[in-house]
Amino acid sequence: MRSFAEWLDTHAWSTALHESLWMYPLIESTHVLTVMLFVGMLAMVDLRLVGLAFRNVAVSHLTGRLLPWSVAGFVIMIATGVLLFYAIPVRTYESVWFRVKVVLLIAGGINAWWFHRRVQRDRTFWDTSPKPPIAVRVVGGVSLAIWAGVIVCGRMIAYNWFDCDRDPSPFVAWMAGCVVEASM
Amino acid sequence: MFETFDTLEQTWIGQTIRESLWLFPGIEAVHLLGLAILGGSVLVVDLRLLGAGLTRATVPAVLASARPWFLGSLALMFATGIPLFLSEAIKCYYNTSFWVKMGALAIGIVFTFGVRNRVAMRRDAPRWATALVGAISLMVWFTVAAAGRWIGFS
């Protein structure tokens, strides 16, 4: 994995993107602003699952009409996120925040899968219920917490407190996969 | 005007944030969480005004449900945005993006409460009027967010 990141780092386009005056900030801004579409729409659905918003609208109507917008946002997030990683591969790969963010992304995916595969099975019984059953509310709450964590970690990648070149504690160094340079 | 910003830069809130390693990023992260909810609560109403999204619910019903989340996230944006501003008031004074954001924010608040929400509550509003109001609202709030992000680049 690290050698893959190092290989990306050798690309001329990676360096060009990182050092570009306009492209990097534009891609970064698109990534940040799309949070309104992706997490914003998802949060409205989650708040409905928890029973805190749109209580008089059927859950299936929210998932059917708002999730496509959220998925569109997610596609933009992945596309811009991959480009941002491509621009700064090694440092990002060794970022504790990035690693926690990836774990949370996977957790968010599993939670969404769980909702669509299992929790939604008996939806006809609670679709119009202002306050869905506990299993549904838990999925919505977990989703809100996970995506909040993803946003916070994403923001923190930009800061360098835990970077490998700043002598982090052994635990952080292990988490970040810092390579100990052998002294010659 | 500059004197005011200079005074604001010297407040203890601003100084505390400047001297701390964690405070600025921490407050910034909460500001971003607010952005997600604010964006969602604006979008869901504006999409409905444009005839998309929750079309099986009436516009007033969508607005009524989104409103507390809009107001709550807007309050959170102020509660986090003001300390961030106080920590770098002079930088903001010379920052075009900051002034664009403040202008768009003022327009956004006046437009949302003065025009958009009133049109949304009227059942006899013509389709073109609701669509126009939804489109303007989307553009104004997008400008607030985009200019806000750009403060950090310039």
CA distance B115 to chain A (A): 22
Task: Provide the pLDDT for residue A166.
Answer: 86
Which segment of A106-110, A168-172, B98-102, B144-148 scores lowest on mean pLDDT?
Answer: A168-172
pTM of the model: 0.94
Task: Provide the pLDDT for residue A1.
Answer: 82
pLDDT at A110 over 90: yes
In tens, the pLDDT along B51-71 reads: 999 999 999 999 999 999 999
Q: Which of A28, A36, A61 sits opposite B43 (nearest CB)?
A: A36
Task: Provide the pLDDT for residue B1.
Answer: 86
Task: Provide the pLDDT for residue A184.
Answer: 47
Establish whether this prediction's ipTM goes over 0.90: yes
**How would you class B100 by CB atoms within 10 Å of its CB: exposed for 0-12, middle for 13-18, buried for 19 or more?**
middle
In tens, the pLDDT along A120-144 reads: 889 999 999 999 999 999 999 999 9
Among B22, B27, B31, B43, which would you mutate to test the A interface (most chain A Cβ atoms within 10 Å of its Cβ)? Answer: B43
Q: Give the residue among A156, A18, A25 at the shortest CA–CA distance from B97.
A: A25
Mean pLDDT (chain B, rounded) = 96
In tens, the pLDDT along A75-88 reads: 999 999 999 999 99
Report the pLDDT averaged over residues B8-31. 96
Report the pLDDT averaged over residues A42-62. 97
Task: Provide the pLDDT for residue A165.
Answer: 86
Alpha-carbon gap, residue B130 to B133, rounded angstroms: 5
DSSP state of A57: S
Among B21, B24, B27, B37, which would you mutate to test the A interface (most chain A Cβ atoms within 10 Å of its Cβ)? Answer: B37
CB spacing of B35 vs A57 below 8 angstroms = no
